[in-house]
Amino acid sequence: MINFKNIIAKEIAEIVNINEKELESYIEIPKDTNNGDYAFPCFRLAKELKKAPQMIAEDIKNQIKIDEKIIDKVEVAGGYLNFYIHQEQMIKEVLQEIANHEEYGKSEIGKGKNIVIDYSAPNIAKPFHIGHLRSTVIGGALYNIYKYLGYHTIGINHLGDYGTQFGKLIEGYKLWGKEYDIEKDPINELTKIYVRINQLCKEDEKVLEQCRMNFKLLEEGDSYCTEIWEKFRSLSLKEFQKVYDLLGSHFDSWNGEAFYSDKMPEVIQILEKSGKLEESQGAKIINLEDKGINTPCIIQKSNGSTTYATRDLAAILYRARTYDFDKALYVVSYEQTLHFKQVFEVAKLLGIDEKYTNGLKHVPFGMVALPTGKMSTREGNIVKLEELLNEAIARAKEIIEEKNPELQNKEEVAKKVGVGAVIFNDLSNSRIKDEIFDWNQVLNFQGETGPYIQYTYVRTKSVLEKAGYVPKIEEVQYDKLLDETSKNIIKLLYNFENILEQVTDKEEPSILSRYLIDLAKAFSNFYNDNKILVEDKEIQNARVYLTYAAGKVLKIGANLLGIEMPDKM
């Protein structure tokens, strides 16, 4: 497909003698279509060319060579150069590309590059609550989009299956295990034990010390502690899988923290050789004050047990050797920002290639809180994700029963709509924003929501079903789509691949979510303003094909976010 930005940048580069890639990055898409399809801000060149922006714009306009089959006209507006693309050419480019490629917008820009994405990572033996939803769906969307752009993508569920909390659970199980039926209801029963042992630890320092000792025994391979830990892990994973099945989540690796237990001694050895490992109150630390980080990174506690940081460093070493990654993303809440600053800095001491340490990136997201405040497993104050998803499905089914009681496959459609509503709600805002969890907002099926996008897609399917055909691209006359509502859809479709690239540039799935809302609105405007099934066959062919194209891209985009599209609802 023609890259209009690139054509404009090349022609400007010939005149101003500045790198065309740099110039291409300056080009904007005006919000007001009266200002053209693309705008070049000449302010960016004023300093270098030592001229007023408007004068630069006039000079470029007078000298630029344009292909009139591609660009209709160029106008100066203040310090901007506005470019108006030949509309039939753009329509032809977009619709032919859609006709020729089943996976429209797919590319090979990531060919030969390996991306590791560490996401979801719930804690074993704790409820999978809505706080874990964000990591799971943000990471899942990034995984899908990177893969679609040709990257070799490795999704890792770095399970929280190690640490002092297991020392606490082991102690609680020793004390009260017979009182709880963890085989029948593992997560809820283990949560009760965890809340209870935490309370006891607050009251009795000796119990807390014993919990720490249990974890040290687990690290050393004690048979009793290991057997209980394996039982907790196995039962927890079965429960988690129910949620992953509902969300459609999958992973290439389930290597959690425990996987690195035999790989941490090498990390400590390397850090000792670096001369940077210091003793502090019996613990081993790396001082990072010279890097502007005032809190030291603890590598080994005073009782000899390891930390999250040690395990993350072992994981970096393993992933560099195993996956030869170009980028390693950590989709973890912003509460862990300091932790990752420390770990990424210490990783530079592991003796691995700079390529790997430069590729480490924390992808933070805001927290999810209840209207009553922050959630805490210790306090038993959480909303379980499985309950949320099932509630969303139930509410979706109620709406279907009310509005379309004759619909076939109601259960399947309710699942797609309910789960889609939850996923889209999470991905529709900037990931860094905190969320107050509100049932009514999450399950609102009106407005800019997942169900709205699904409904718009279903409308495109309905039009095609009534038409009874999708015309061949050779039967489409592009000049029949020159009305404003048709052109708005075409411009959005043209920009689809660029939107996906923006998502990976900023690790921000909400860019795609907002795009899908814009596309759904643009199709609704087109649908309301134009009768699609008309007597004039040429007009009908063009409008039916545009309907097909819009539906196709809505479905591809939603699928990349992890949302399934029903054909009817």
- Residues marked as catalytic: 126, 129, 132
CA–CA distance, 554 with 496 (Å, rounded to integer): 10
**Cα–Cα distance measured from residue 527 to residue 307, given in angstroms and rounded to the nearest whole number:** 58
> HSE (CB half, 13 Å, CA atoms) of 8?
27
To the nearest 10°, report the CA torsion of 347, 352, 354, 358.
Answer: -40
- Non-local (6+) Cβ contacts of 29 within 8 A are 37, 38, 39, 495
- Residues belonging to the chain: 569
End-to-end CA distance of the chain: 34
Q: Residue 308 and residue 300: Cα distance in Å, rounded?
A: 10
Both tokens assigned to 92: 């032809």
Number of separate helices (H) and strands (E) present in the chain:
22, 13
Angle between helices 385-403 and 130-148 (to 10 degrees): 80
Please name the helix (run of DSSP H) or strand (run of DSSP E) that holds residue 200, with its range, or none.
helix 186-203
- What distance in Å separates the CA atoms of residue 163 and residue 166, rounded to the nearest whole number? 6
Strand, coil or helix: what is 59? helix
Strand partners, 154: 116
CA distances, 491 to each of 32, 463, 477 (Å): 13, 21, 17
Could you count the other beta carbons within 10 Å of the beta carbon of residue 145? 25
Strand ranges inside 143-236, DSSP E:
152-156
